Structure 1
Amino acid sequence: MANVFSKSFKRKVLVWCIPPLVYCFVKILFFTCKKRFHIGINGSHTPSIYAIWHGELLMAAMAYTSYSKRVHIDTIVSQHFDGDLVAKLMRLFGGGTIRGSSSKGGILALRYALKALQMGRDIGITPDGPRGPRHSVADGAAALARMKQVPIITMHCKPSSSWQMRSWDRFCIPKPFCTLDFYYSDPFYVHELSLDEAKALIQKRLLEPIDV
């Protein structure tokens, strides 16, 4: 009986319950909102790395599918408990997941991500996840793009009205019936840059359409 109240059991219940509810909420939210898509050059014809801030992760799947018209993406998520929630949610949207982050399992995640790109799949990543600091850029996206010489496309969702959590990433939840502005950068390459230069460019592209 004690196992029923254990931390691991509670987490299993949450992983079972929360992602389907969030999935339904996101679908309904997307349907009720007015959408505006800001796209220059659409780079969805080639395997790419899609980057979005951790605080805007809620609408990441809809941002990607609206842009690429497919679900051929593997999202890199942490091995922490919140990563379990995100992993199941991404699977509900039809995508795959790669478990690992800069703090844990990073090397193995890098190997799987390289293999996924080789197979023609896209990679989704939150450069400032899973623990921040907010709007910082870890090595992952830049390292992948430099090693595989694939383009990066940054995504951003800016709702006209939203709730903002008091978490480190200021997690954003758009309000129903608001306007969702989706911004996508033109595909850009970083393989001729140093790692630090590549990270700086990714950060710049992610910050361009928003008021920080």
Structure 2
Amino acid sequence: MPLRKRCKKFFKSLLQSRLVLAAISTLIYWYARLVGRTTEWQTQGVDELYRVWEKEGSFIFIGWHGRAMMLPYFWNRSHPLNALVSLHHDGRMIAGLLEKFGMGTIGGSSTENGKNAALELMRSLQKGEAIAIIPDGPKGPSMTLSRSAVYFAQKSGKPIIGATYSIAGSKIVEKSWDKMMLPKPFSRGCYYATEAFYIPADADETRLEEYRRTIENRLNQLTWEADKAMGIKHIEKGTVARKRYPAPAPKSEKA
């Protein structure tokens, strides 16, 4: 087997180890804390987000996969929040990161444990807890809103609020499916939140699609505005879904 393939297989096996994933998520957490504390932030809509949170008790929080790292930074720890995460290795890394920020996590996606995860998320909303969804993950296309958040808002009566950010001098991983931003510490940053979107309980499929597009366009608009303000190259939304495979069973701690 060629060396390149052996290395790729080795690193893939490492990502199936709980210990390795825990170590990676810990490193990401402390890096995110460093970025958050050393960035000169300009915020927009965050006060409104907190106001809606106090009024409603719970809501559906969304953000793009490529901007997931810093999304939890402005979260108010006094409010319970449960995030939907993929059962794949990248989802488990995100789960570790969110748990270190004090958030709860629920494992599942449209193809993995979807029904049980949906029931748990609805219970969270009914108990007055917020939920978080990455609506373009785990399979994309990037910056494209899936229907899941819209359906949760319709069934629960709770609003959807999106957030995004950009940090000057950050690197965009062009070859990644989600065009992930690797934020740079000791810089300037924007953290923008959308207004609250309420979905009528009697909305038909046509209106649900209209709401979906409106929310997607708004979150993309804020992302592009933040990038422009920080001098980051314009990123187009994705057009192709990511190839996915069934989530591998995690190896034991001895892996």
Q: 1:143 to 1:74 in 2, by over 3 A?
A: same
Within the candidate set 115, 118, 121, 2:126 is matched to: 118
Amino acid at match of 2:37: F
Within the candidate set 176, 180, 187, 1:167 is matched to: 176
Within the candidate set 42, 46, 52, 2:63 is matched to: 52
Amino acid at match of 1:94: G
**Residue 71 of structure 1: how far off its partner (Å):** 4.7
Aligned counterpart, 2:147: 139
Aligned counterpart, 1:156: 164
**Residue 103 of structure 1: how far off its partner (Å):** 2.6
Separation in 1 of the partners of 2:16 and 2:222? 39
Amino acid at match of 1:210: T
Query: Rg bigger for which structure?
Result: 2
Separation in 1 of the partners of 2:114 and 2:209? 18
- Unaligned runs of 5+ residues in structure 1 are none
**Residue 16 of structure 1: how far off its partner (Å):** 2.3
Task: Say whether residues 1:191 and 2:197 are aligned partners.
Answer: no
Amino acid at match of 1:202: I
1:87-106 matches, within 5 Å, as 87-106=95-114
Q: 1:200 to 1:24 in 2, by over 3 A?
A: same
Aligned counterpart, 1:206: 219
Separation in 1 of the partners of 2:171 and 2:40? 17
**Greater strand share, structure number:** 1
Separation in 2 of the partners of 1:26 and 1:147? 34
- Unaligned runs of 5+ residues in structure 2 are 1-9, 225-235, 237-255
Separation in 2 of the partners of 1:51 and 1:197? 17
Post-superposition Cα deviations, 1:60-82, rounded to whole Å, max 9, x if no partner, equal: 1103x1xx453511010111111
Q: 1:98 to 1:69 in 2, by over 3 A?
A: closer
**Residue 12 of structure 1: how far off its partner (Å):** 2.0
Q: Percent identity?
A: 29
Aligned length: 205
Q: Partner of 1:114: helix, strand, or coil?
A: helix
Amino acid at match of 2:222: P
Q: 1:201 to 1:12 in 2, by over 3 A?
A: same
Q: Tell me if the contact between 1:43 and 1:186 (Cα under 8 Å) persists in the aligned partners.
A: no
TM-score (normalizing by structure 1): 0.89
Amino acid at match of 1:12: R
Separation in 2 of the partners of 1:38 and 1:89? 24
Q: Partner of 2:94: helix, strand, or coil?
A: helix
Separation in 1 of the partners of 2:177 and 2:15? 27
Greater alpha carbon shift after TM alignment, 7-16 vs 79-88: 7-16
Post-superposition Cα deviations, 1:4-50, rounded to whole Å, max 9, x if no partner, equal: x8937852232121111111111111111101110263312121111
CA RMSD of aligned residues (A): 1.9
Q: Tell me if the contact between 2:142 and 2:177 (Cα under 8 Å) persists in the aligned partners.
A: yes
Separation in 1 of the partners of 2:197 and 2:145? 16
**Residue 195 of structure 1: how far off its partner (Å):** 2.9
Separation in 1 of the partners of 2:167 and 2:208? 32
Q: Tell me if the contact between 1:79 and 1:104 (Cα under 8 Å) persists in the aligned partners.
A: yes
Aligned structure 1 segments of 4 or more residues deviating by more than 6 angstroms: none
Q: Tell me if the contact between 1:71 and 1:95 (Cα under 8 Å) persists in the aligned partners.
A: no
